[in-house]
Structure 1
Amino acid sequence: MHGLKPEEKRISRYICVQIIYAYELSSSENNKNYDSIFTKHFHADLENSYGQLSKAQLDYSRMLYLESIKNRDFIDKLIQERLKNWDISRLAIIDRIILRMSASEMFFIDEVPPKVSIAEGVEIAKVFSTKDSSSFVNGILDAIYNEVYIKDNKVSKV
């Protein structure tokens, strides 16, 4: 659909994580729109970090952002059900964002196999979170895949 190379798609995910982070921290509804957040806070910095971004990369990042925000309650319920004696609100915000984004990609973006969504979530956790977060993210996403995704008869996406 987007014709992106894996490394280009990963950069789109990096951008998405950062935009969702800004969204989560914003108290104003006016600052919660993807384009508003991107233009106001990130455009120059992201291009300095990742080089010239293609329209396809930005489109993929925007799509992933919108799916993550739109399906937040559904995804949060899946995450919460897999936390043992822990509340989702106590998770580090970046770990919540990575889990939400990766699970949203798994369930709502058909062009990406779910195992790729899991692997990318793990790699993103290595970049943006603590040294232990990648194992945690892997465990939660893998449990969601095995306990929910497969049971929803979406195995053909694998």
Structure 2
Amino acid sequence: MKGSQRRKARQLAAQAIYSWQITNNAVSDIIESMEEENNVNEFDVVYFEKLVNGVFRHLDSIDIAYKPHLARAIDEVDLVEKAVLRVATYELCECREVPYKVVINEAIEVAKLFAADDSHKFVNGVLDKAVKFIRKEEFK
């Protein structure tokens, strides 16, 4: 699987989580819709589904993992930023085969694509702090 297909999977996962946050529709319906609207040959479908379903299943623990590193209340975090943080935090927690630097860089790129102008700096700051606790064994 090419890196660009993984990047597209992450982008779509953030969009799916954002959609779920807004609509509260069934995650399975959102996944199905995203796959129908996008060329499945252009992204890693399995990874996309893993990210979206993983965020949904582990939402509470994901939010707990990055929440202490926020400079503001979690309810005040923009929904696009929150979607990006949730996908990246899930990946940091559950996809240990992906280097943390790749996860953070990809989250920054997704934030640059979808979020407000300086959101990528916020996302980077939160993830840079959170990773030291999530993957503390890599920082010994």
Same structural fold, with TM-score higher than 0.5 when normalized by the shorter chain: yes
Task: Report the counterpart of residue 64 of structure 1 in structure 2.
Answer: 51
Change (3 A) 1:7 1:79: same
CA contact (8 A) 2:17 2:52 kept: yes
Shift of 1:150: 3.7
Task: Report the counterpart of residue 74 of structure 1 in structure 2.
Answer: 61
Task: Report the counterpart of residue 41 of structure 2 in structure 1.
Answer: 52
Greater RCO structure (CA 8 Å; 6+ sep): 2
In the alignment of these two chains, the number of paired residues is: 139
> Rg larger in 1 or in 2?
1
Query: Is 2:124 the counterpart of 1:138?
Result: yes
Residues of 2 paired with 1:33 and 1:135: CA distance?
A: 28
Moved over 6 A (4+): none
Task: Report the counterpart of residue 12 of structure 2 in structure 1.
Answer: 15
**Partner amino acid for 1:125?**
A
Residues of 2 paired with 1:73 and 1:91: CA distance?
A: 16
Task: Report the counterpart of residue 37 of structure 1 in structure 2.
Answer: 30
Shift of 1:8: 0.7
RMSD: 1.9
Tell me the TM-score normalized by structure 1.
Answer: 0.79
| Unaligned ranges ≥5, structure 1 | none
Q: Deviations over 1:61-117 (max 9, x none)?
A: 000111111221112122221123x21111100100100100110110122111111
Residues of 2 paired with 1:79 and 1:38: CA distance?
A: 24
Task: Report the counterpart of residue 89 of structure 1 in structure 2.
Answer: 75
Tell me the TM-score normalized by structure 2.
Answer: 0.89
**Partner amino acid for 2:119?**
S
Sequence identity percentage: 27
SS at match of 2:41: coil
Shift of 1:52: 3.4
